[in-house]
Structure 1
Amino acid sequence: MRKIYLLILFVVSIIKASYAQQLPAGDVANSTFSQPQPFLFTVSTLNPQGRSWSLNYSGGYGERTVTPLGFDGVDQNFSAKGYLGNKFTLMAMLGTGFSNNGGVRTLQQAEVLRDFIGGNQPMGFRAGASLGFRREFNSDGVAFSRITAAYEVTNWKLGANVRFEKAFATNRDGLDLITSVGVHRHISGQLFGGFEAVGQDLEGFWEADEAEGGARLLIGPSLNYAPVNSRLAFSLCGGPIIYATRSAATQGQFAYRELPTTNGFTLKFNVGFRFL
């Protein structure tokens, strides 16, 4: 756990040392609002100032974890995100996991999001919803819907999600509930920092037989950096994962989850590249 925070502090020190000079306000604003995905766990539609297509590579490391690919150790994901017009955003993802015994599993996911409130100006509040489908690493099919909210101004980025999932497999929950919230505050130059929190399988608070093993919580520091006049953006988040409740059911241990089925920790990063 201590290693995560030391690594984050080291990254912050390097970035601040490299970009200590004052940047023009226009450049700062352009980089701030044009990013495709400032948070790791919290998804939103594209900011009106950054409605272009992007490719994202994310990876992570965890101990005492089975997520997000159902494996303990290293994971990686590739995704594309872009604007379809009329406030619609498309996200498509492919995940790959390499098991300790040499096996390889894959995950595919597609999701369409739309703003219903706001979304006309770069700064301010916007809220929307989505529909999606995922083929998990164990080949289970999962349909899901997400409610999204985002608030962005020059010095603040806030995001929140409420996600409902239905797995088309036996011995899985009838409905899963997953929430997340992220908060970033401007630190220096193009560096933003704050925290991100995730609540997973929250039906475990009221269902003793919750099929994925119980409710889990994560809260940890989060960083976001987008260099001026660059198409790249970087995000980093990590922290402890705590079981809030436990159930006897363990059938869902290979379900796609951002958090593990035992207490532990995770560290995730994302590198995004915008085409325009």
Structure 2
Amino acid sequence: MKKLLLISLLFLSVNCVAQTTAQPFLFNVNTLTGDKPYWNLQYSGSYGERATGQFGYDGLGQQFGLKSYLGNRFTLYATAAVGFANGGGVSSAQQAEVLRDFIGGKKAEGFRLGAGLGASRDWSNVKSAISRIALSFDQQKWRAAGNLRFEKAFDSSRDKLDFISSLGFQYRLAPALFLGFEAIGQDLEGFWDKEEAEGGAKLMVGPSINLKPQNSRLSFSIAGGPVFYATRSNIIPSEAIRELGASANGYSLRALVNFELYK
């Protein structure tokens, strides 16, 4: 009996370690390590009411992504998004980033702190330079991640610098299932800039679910919640790439499928 119990506990421990995923959160980007699959293909869909933007698109939005571990603690993250508006019309946007862990990053568990640079082309063909600070903490029973993103758009009608922050937490309810929440604060410069170019600072807090079936190359994530303005400016919101974007208080829901191409 004791031997059977020991074998069962060992199996559960190995299973827990194996159930890592390249992108457990929807609104937070985490860095990869050599313990995870090197190449990952991602597809995400979103639906929003009274919302506009990359992932808060007013209607149906789709995004294709590539995430890869490049070695030496470097992570590549690139996306291409397509939006089908409720009122008709199709738009697209792209972005790519390279991040490097400066603290941790040699194994999947534990604390990691990284930073990176990238570029984007938004829905209105405006180009931007972006940078991101990414932190994460992974354990068998729980994980957390946070991002601070800065964006400089090369257009005189946009803000001098945009600030976006996000936070996510998930707890393991079963070997393959995590449940938690995600929160995001977007265009935070709206708290001190009355002429903020995206219409003001916006916030979202909502539930987050991640499922990683045993011995599967697929993993699934869902997150979303109410979107509301924390501040408002008199500027008509631009078409900058945003996780949230609202012409009025609304909601946004996203779902993602991640496929591990190879290890």
TM-score by length of 2: 0.92
Q: How does 1:219-238 map to 2 (within 5 A)?
A: 219-238=205-224
Deviation of 1:71 after TM superposition, in Å, equals 4.2
Give aligned-pair identity as a percent. 50
Q: Pairwise CA RMSD of aligned residues?
A: 1.6
**Is the Cα–Cα contact under 8 Å of residues 224 and 252 in structure 2 kept in the other structure?**
yes
Match of 1:90 among 73, 76, 81: 76
Per-residue deviation, 1:51: 4.0
CA distance 1:207–1:256, shift in 2 (3 Å): same
The answer to whether the aligner puts 1:240 opposite 2:226 as a matched pair is yes
Give 1:264 shift.
0.4
CA distance in 1, matches of 2:146, 2:85: 32
**Counterpart secondary structure, 1:66:** coil
Distance 2:57 2:107 in 1: 41
Query: In structure 1, what is the equivalent of residue 160 of structure 2?
Result: 174
1:25 aligns with 2:10: no
CA change 1:131–1:168 in 2 (3 A) is: same
Counterpart of 2:240 in structure 1 is 255
Distance of 1:266 and 1:253 partners within structure 2: 18
Helix, strand or coil at the partner of 1:27: helix
Partner Cα distance (1:69, 1:266) in 2: 8
Distance 1:144 1:249, change over 3 A: same
- 1:211 Cα deviation (Å)? 1.3
Give SS of 1:236's match.
strand
**CA distance in structure 1 between the aligned counterparts of 2:45 and 2:192, rounded to whole angstroms:** 33
What CA deviation, in whole Å up to 9, does each residue of 1:59-117 have, x standing for no partner?
Answer: 11110011226741110000011111111111111111123454322111111010000
SS at match of 2:25: coil
In structure 1, the partner of 2:147 is 161
Cα distance between partner residues in 1 of 2:203 and 2:56: 17
CA contact (8 A) 2:167 2:182 kept: yes
Q: CA 1:69–1:157 in 2, change beyond 3 Å: closer, same or farther?
A: closer
- SS, match of residue 119 in structure 2: strand
| Contact 1:70-1:253 at 8 Å conserved across structures | no
Change (3 A) 1:106 1:186: same
What is the alpha-carbon distance in structure 1 between the residues aligned to residue 245 and residue 71 of structure 2? 36
Alignment gaps of 5+ in structure 1: 1-20
- Select which of 75, 85, 89 maps to 2:61: 75
Give, as a single letter, the amino acid of the residue that structure 2 aligns with 1:257: R
- What's the TM-score, normalizing by structure 1? 0.88
**Secondary structure, aligned partner of 1:204:** helix
- What is the one-letter code of the residue matched to 1:31? Q
CA apart distance, 1:53:
0.1
Question: Aligned partner of 2:18: which letter?
Answer: N
- Separation in 1, partners of 2:194, 2:163: 15
Higher fraction of helix: 1
- The alpha-carbon distance between structure 1 residues 48 and 157, as it changes in their structure 2 partners (threshold 3 A), is farther
Aligned pair partner of 2:103 in 108, 117, 133 = 117
The residue type equivalent to 1:205 in the other structure is F
- Measured in 1, the distance between the counterparts of 2:55 and 2:176 equals 31
Comparing 212-221 with 21-30, which one deviates more in the overlay?
21-30
Q: Which whole-Å CA distance do the structure 2 matches of 1:86 and 1:223 have between them?
A: 30
Counterpart CA distance in 2 for 1:121 and 1:25 is 17
Give the equivalent residue in structure 2 for 1:17.
none
- Residues of 2 paired with 1:130 and 1:42: CA distance? 14
Distance 1:70 1:37, change over 3 A: closer
